Structure 1
Amino acid sequence: MSFPRESGVLLHPTSLPGPHGIGDLGPSARHFVDWLVSAGQRLWQVLPLNPIGPGNSPYASVSAFAGSPLLVALEPLVEAGDLEPIAAEELAQFHGRAVDFGRVIPWRMAKLRAAAARFFARPEDDPRRVAFAAYVAAEADWLDDYALFMALDEHLQAASGEDFLPWSRWPAELARREPEALAAARVEHAEAVAFWGFVQFCFDSQWAQLRAYANERGVALVGDLPIFVAWHGADCWSRPELYRLGHGEAGLEPAVVAGVPPDFFSETGQRWGNPLYDWEAMAADGYRWWIARMRRQLALADRVRIDHFRGFSAYWEIPADCPTAMEGEWVPGPGAALFQAFVDAFGDALPVIAEDLGVITEEVEALRDQFALPGMKILQFAFAGANEAGVEASAGHAFLPHTYGSNCVVYTGTHDNDTVRGWAESAPEAERDFARRYFGCSDAELPWAMTRAALGSVANTAIIPFQDVLGLDGSHRMNVPGQTECWTWRFDWDMVGAEPARFMRDLCAVYGRLVVDTGS
């Protein structure tokens, strides 16, 4: 679908300020919505809300449907009486702005367990217990398997004494999901299953309240749907027939894995390691799993960015025993059949943004355009190669604003890019020279010049990472593809001040993107 002329900011909730070691869905999230309104912004784009995986990444989650326990705010649990007020001395361990996942994860999970214990001590006819029971029933299609997977994973991992025990090495009757074994496990681990359901109940309740708060103030939420899932996760364990498995002693490990060939980010490509889908099996049941996944995403967000869109046209298939992504091949994806299934389920106007970056072919563009999906334009990429081809040859780059059509989304950069200031300090001189000449500015002015160019372009949608709104350097980068232990960046409100909101609002007024303040 074609979106109206508007703009927004990219910021993952984990980057929000707050006293509990990581940004969450608490008071600071509402404060950020208020800031967006003051800055004239219509959109808040987040990264995947799923539980994080290896390297703290939300793109390799144990569930495509669950929300991250780390995003559950603790203040509402205290207010509800499920959690004791948190002493100031407990919070002293969370010094500095960056997320220390090694401290945050065990501490927060302990708080959630304490809250769950109090919650389930309430009478079953307590209004919140009744609401919880209704929630579990309504979300049973994904929640039952997710909660059981998490309970089994936790129990069997602890019993193994190993650093990691994949589900393919669980007792055979559980790995292969024999009905009697699953039924017995649900009884044996009932308390743990209830705990994981409680965490999701809290997440969904808090997210729904935040979304309503934003929508009431004219701000829409843009979610992020990773194309692939983690092999060691509830999705693959619960529906192994939908994946290309077959390796390992039990034949339950991936035979081929996902990634991308050598590109801008890596000379050896990126070997993500996710299992690949058996698209024939998914087509045979009408793409029911994908429709359920999209329905879940549209229940959480007003629009959805689909990550690695080109993988639906063709994806890079890597043999599972290859250590890099260099030995792979392009394999056709489901193409139009999947998106037609989406149209049949949700209507013609799919509120979807196609992340059409990387090795893009005519087939990828045709798939995007067949369903009128806006693609992405990344301003930083517009200047790549200027040192080789020269300015004149680069002037037609598809990411330069003067080449855009209206049905696209322009970004100064994504979560995988350096900040604009960091890019300006490290890019080859020829690229920076081209950028300076294109925008008519100095290196120091590039963050504001790129933001101005994005907002002033004909693209219907412009989204600016919050780091670029604040003009921050590369030390504030969110992620470096191929590296681990990223995703730790956070800001404090004392870093913001009044000028960024004024700057963004003024530009949105000038370029016809200003949000109307409802006064709510």
Structure 2
Amino acid sequence: MRKSGMLLPIASLPSKYGIGSFSKEAYDFVDMLKDAGQSLWQILPLGPTGYGDSPYQSFSTFAGNPYFIDLDELVKEGLLSEEECNSYNWGDNNEYVDYEKVYLSRFKILNRAYKQSEIKEDRRFNAYCDKNRWWLDDYALYMAIKDYFDGNSWIEWDNDIKLREEDAMCKYKEKLCDEVIFYKYLQYLFSNQWNRLKSYANRNGISIVGDIPIYVSMDSADTWSNPALFQLDRNCNPISVAGCPPDSFSKTGQLWGNPLYYWNYHRDTDYEWWIKRIEYSFKLYDTVRIDHFRGFDEYYSIPFGDLTAENGTWEKGPGIELFRYINKKLGNVNIIAEDLGFLTESVKQLLDDTGYPGMKILQFAFDSREESDYLPHNYNRNCVVYTGTHDNSTVCGWYRDLNKNDKNMSISYMNNKYTKNNAIHWDFICLGMRSISDTCIIPVQDYLGLGDEARINIPSTLGNNWTWRMNKNSFSKKVVKKIYMLTKIYGRM
């Protein structure tokens, strides 16, 4: 069935308190999607963010980001007052996330709500904690200890707790008991509010497309509590880390620094951790996009301690075996494979064997020097077409910087010599919408015709990423009506 939707991170929603959340504005966005004839809302990973504010470097693959908790809901519940919420500095730019201000304010105000909640006696809270004990206990303890050690990652903690010695675990559980419950409370709030928002979206015909990174962060409860899953030495220090090799975009490659999986252990345990991860993801989302899918075929291994990715080597991943185990345990699940970049024949074969749709990016299509798999006439139905992703420029920003030959090629391909540059985004949107792809997802910035001031992320850079927020009144009735009309014309209702 042909369908379409929009890509917008939760953090990029408008809100009163510095960053997008599960507030009224999120429900308004769902209403707009429905009015525009859309059926999908794609978001970025929901996990708590760490250094660099990237949702792809989270303190937990299972936990949710406390930044997204709606403070107005806590006001309605009598746990906070509007005056308290407004007394903090959330920043003065409605189109920018000031993470320093959010960090310094959000946990303080949430701690006020916690102290007012008497949550320890709440039956539903205790039931939630019991149900999620298998990941929540380690996560909450990890965050409490992390705070105790001034925010440092577990690899810098005292050796006894770094290596989870029994006496040390007991000591910190007792010493930080209240802090642990606070972090569990935040997850309880997150879960309740996200489930309500997702249910509202589903009732209105909107499915949620979630996103999970292939790797977890070194600074995470996952790595600290399950070191056997990763390529770590006996002192739990990394042996090799993840990244990408040098290419035309990066002369020294990309050094991500994530711990690599010890795939032999995963095989020996019938991929139990991965099955739990995927199963849990489908409690949060209707469809799951897996980032860096090619890493399941071959992954790039960089010696720990290297300052660049130049000395890495390609190593064999689990291949189709992992997905056979997933299918055996969970049945056929709705997964989108992020298969961008240089693809070997073995990666293409893995994608074919899974049957998952891959991704097509229109910004990658127009290279006048060669034929591209990203040109729409080369698509098959089983793919998802985008104008761009969170890692790309906006269409308007990209097109402005496109060289003359590639720009002429795009004009010839679309048979359109008359569109002015400030409206070129509609041509590319229509190109994706009318393609044969079963699914078309357009970043919100492209529907709004925004330039690079609205770019989400520039890969391999730190600073000023993940900060863009949508203005509250961005989608006029005229624009929504136009999106609805195009969706209907191209058979994606």
Equivalent of residue 7 in structure 2, options 1, 7, 10: 10
Task: For residue 286 of structure 1, report the CA deviation from its aligned partner.
Answer: 0.9
How far apart, CA to CA, are the structure 1 residues paired with 2:83 and 2:289?
36
User: Which position in structure 2 is the counterpart of 1:102?
Assistant: 100
Equivalent of residue 467 in structure 2, options 474, 481, 488: 488
Secondary structure at the aligned position of 1:305 is classed as strand
Equivalent of residue 149 in structure 2, options 129, 145, 156: 156
User: Which position in structure 1 is the counterpart of 2:124?
Assistant: 131
User: Which position in structure 1 is the counterpart of 2:19?
Assistant: 22
Q: How does 1:331-342 map to 2 (within 5 A)?
A: 331-342=315-326
Assess, with a 3 A threshold, how the Cα gap between structure 1 residues 100 and 411 changes in structure 2: closer, same or farther: same
User: Which position in structure 2 is the counterpart of 1:113?
Assistant: 111
Equivalent of residue 252 in structure 1, options 230, 233, 236: 236
TM-score by length of 1: 0.91
Task: For residue 123 of structure 1, report the CA deviation from its aligned partner.
Answer: 7.4
Q: Which runs of 5+ in 1 are unaligned?
A: 158-163, 515-520
Task: For residue 46 of structure 1, report the CA deviation from its aligned partner.
Answer: 0.2
Is the CA contact 1:47–1:224 (under 8 Å) kept in the aligned structure 2?
yes
- 2:487 counterpart of 1:508: yes
How far apart, CA to CA, are the structure 1 residues paired with 2:152 and 2:55?
20
Task: For residue 315 of structure 1, report the CA deviation from its aligned partner.
Answer: 0.8
Q: How does 1:71-220 map to 2 (within 5 A)?
A: 71-86=68-83, 90=87, 93-96=90-93, 97-120=95-118, 124=121, 129-157=122-150, 165-220=152-207
- 2:456 counterpart of 1:461: no
Q: Which runs of 5+ in 2 are unaligned?
A: none
Secondary structure at the aligned position of 2:255 is classed as strand
Task: For residue 55 of structure 1, report the CA deviation from its aligned partner.
Answer: 1.1
Secondary structure at the aligned position of 2:365 is classed as helix
- 2:377 counterpart of 1:402: yes
Assess, with a 3 A threshold, how the Cα gap between structure 1 residues 415 and 331 changes in structure 2: closer, same or farther: same
Task: For residue 498 of structure 1, report the CA deviation from its aligned partner.
Answer: 1.7
How far apart, CA to CA, are the structure 1 residues paired with 2:105 and 2:209?
29
Q: Which amino acid aligns with 2:485?
A: D
Q: How does 1:359-398 map to 2 (within 5 A)?
A: 359-384=342-367, 386=368, 389=369, 393-394=370-371, 397-398=372-373
Deviation per CA, 1:107-132, whole angstroms, max 9, x where unpaired? 11111111111113x672xxxx1110
Equivalent of residue 386 in structure 2, options 392, 411, 419: 411
Q: Which amino acid aligns with 1:343?
A: N
How far apart, CA to CA, are the structure 2 residues paired with 1:366 and 1:325?
26
Is the CA contact 2:71–2:85 (under 8 Å) kept in the aligned structure 1?
no
Q: Which amino acid aligns with 1:507?
A: L
User: Which position in structure 2 is the counterpart of 1:329?
Assistant: 313
TM-score by length of 2: 0.96
Q: How does 1:225-374 map to 2 (within 5 A)?
A: 225-246=212-233, 251-263=235-247, 265-347=249-331, 349-374=332-357
Is the CA contact 2:359–2:384 (under 8 Å) kept in the aligned structure 1?
yes
Deviation per CA, 1:354-393, whole angstroms, max 9, x where unpaired? 0001121111111111121000000000113x2xx2xxx4
Secondary structure at the aligned position of 1:235 is classed as helix
Equivalent of residue 221 in structure 1, options 208, 216, 219: 208
Task: For residue 180 of structure 1, report the CA deviation from its aligned partner.
Answer: 3.0
Q: Which amino acid aligns with 1:323?
A: L
How far apart, CA to CA, are the structure 2 residues paired with 1:499 and 1:98?
25
Q: Which amino acid aligns with 1:499?
A: K
How far apart, CA to CA, are the structure 1 residues paired with 2:427 and 2:247?
27
Is the CA contact 1:265–1:481 (under 8 Å) kept in the aligned structure 2?
no
How far apart, CA to CA, are the structure 2 residues paired with 1:84 and 1:491?
26
Task: For residue 228 of structure 1, report the CA deviation from its aligned partner.
Answer: 0.5
Task: For residue 9 of structure 1, report the CA deviation from its aligned partner.
Answer: 0.2
Q: Which amino acid aligns with 1:363?
A: S
Is the CA contact 2:241–2:260 (under 8 Å) kept in the aligned structure 1?
yes
Task: For residue 262 of structure 1, report the CA deviation from its aligned partner.
Answer: 2.3
Task: For residue 426 of structure 1, report the CA deviation from its aligned partner.
Answer: 1.1
How far apart, CA to CA, are the structure 1 residues paired with 2:168 and 2:265?
25
Deviation per CA, 1:124-153, whole angstroms, max 9, x where unpaired? 2xxxx1110000000001000000000011
Q: Which amino acid aligns with 1:415?
A: H
How far apart, CA to CA, are the structure 2 residues paired with 1:434 and 1:54?
41
Q: How does 1:431-446 map to 2 (within 5 A)?
A: 431-441=406-416, 442=419, 443-446=421-424
Q: How does 1:27-42 map to 2 (within 5 A)?
A: 27-42=24-39
Secondary structure at the aligned position of 1:131 is classed as helix
Secondary structure at the aligned position of 2:305 is classed as coil
Give me the identity figure in percent.
Answer: 41
Task: For residue 93 of structure 1, report the CA deviation from its aligned partner.
Answer: 4.8
How far apart, CA to CA, are the structure 2 residues paired with 1:109 and 1:123?
19
Task: For residue 184 of structure 1, report the CA deviation from its aligned partner.
Answer: 2.6
How far apart, CA to CA, are the structure 2 residues paired with 1:102 and 1:88?
17
Task: For residue 89 of structure 1, report the CA deviation from its aligned partner.
Answer: 5.3
Task: For residue 91 of structure 1, report the CA deviation from its aligned partner.
Answer: 6.0
Q: How many residues in Structure 1 have an aligned counterpart in Structure 2?
A: 488
Is the CA contact 1:19–1:91 (under 8 Å) kept in the aligned structure 2?
no
Secondary structure at the aligned position of 2:48 is classed as coil
How far apart, CA to CA, are the structure 2 residues paired with 1:295 and 1:51?
19
Deviation per CA, 1:68-108, whole angstroms, max 9, x where unpaired? 01111111111111212235853665211200011111111
How far apart, CA to CA, are the structure 2 residues paired with 1:123 and 1:253?
36
Q: Which runs of 4+ in 1 moved over 4 A?
A: none
Q: How does 1:40-51 map to 2 (within 5 A)?
A: 40-51=37-48
How far apart, CA to CA, are the structure 1 residues paired with 2:228 and 2:89?
48
How far apart, CA to CA, are the structure 2 residues paired with 1:123 and 1:298?
28
Equivalent of residue 427 in structure 2, options 422, 427, 449: 449
Is the CA contact 2:90–2:98 (under 8 Å) kept in the aligned structure 1?
no
Task: For residue 264 of structure 1, report the CA deviation from its aligned partner.
Answer: 5.1
